[in-house]
Structure 1
Amino acid sequence: MRNFDFTPFSRSSIGFDHLIDLLNNPQLAEDQGGYPPYDIVRTGPETYRIALAIAGFTPDEITITSQQSLLMVEGRKANEDDRHYLHRGISARAFTRRFNLEDHVEVEQANYENGLLQIDLVRKIPEAMKPRKISIGTQPSKSTKSLNAA
């Protein structure tokens, strides 16, 4: 296995400490297993969709929480009935799936249809944070001022 040194990147970047720590220590990233399976699709230049396959759950059994830069989807089955399953292939176990979001990505809407939970995200960058061109001004030097005064 190869080890990479990301130290040179931390010298010229500010505010990405957490990302560099994750690259240096992959054990810090939380292993969530493979359940439920999901897709992330870019649907436009500033829009995304997360689709989670959660067959067997109803919308009432799903909780979606968005806070700062974290999206959390939790599923808990309601009280199980007293059925006696001969084979249970559709998983009904509780789950928590976390997605780290960029600072200005917001949840736009969530829909549940045909066993898929679809969460639409949009990146909304405030005007104050968008790139803007800065004009460069000049100031007259002191020698120019003294010549004009004489």
Structure 2
Amino acid sequence: MKINEYINMIAALAGILSLVFVGYQIRQNTRVLQSQSNIDLLLASFSMREVITENSEVAALKIKVQNNYTGLSEIERTRYEAFVSRKFDIWEHAFKLNTAGLIAPSMWQAWNNSYTPLLKKTAAKEFWKKNQFGFSEDFQKHIVLEIRNQ
């Protein structure tokens, strides 16, 4: 063999090794993004719970909504709809992360299962009727399917 053939073989081998390394780095980066996405969702969920545990006024409003949504004052309804809006925002965020492949399917299923009961509540139904067009079209379709499946 000539020296040029050895150099070409070494260069080809180096190219293959570089591609393998790039593939490995992409996989590692995807795992980091998935982990960060899971942490972001957990923090958002914790902040929603914290609002209720840290603020007795919000906790009382939640109980009042459960007992008599139609009896709420305009201010109470507005405040609670803002609370529900945050829940839908988190749900849509999880939906988008799932669509992008940034959370594991099992994690998405857990999130979706935990938020789906929201659609049975009068306040959430009212919110969705008035505000659904503020969400992505794909998420709107997902919610429509969830409502049909109930």
Instruction: Using structure 1 for the length normalisation, give the TM-score.
Output: 0.25
Higher strand share: 1
Q: Which has the higher contact order (CA 8 A, sep 6+)?
A: 2
Instruction: Using structure 2 for the length normalisation, give the TM-score.
Output: 0.25
Q: Choose 1 or 2 for highest CA Rg.
A: 1
Higher helix share: 2
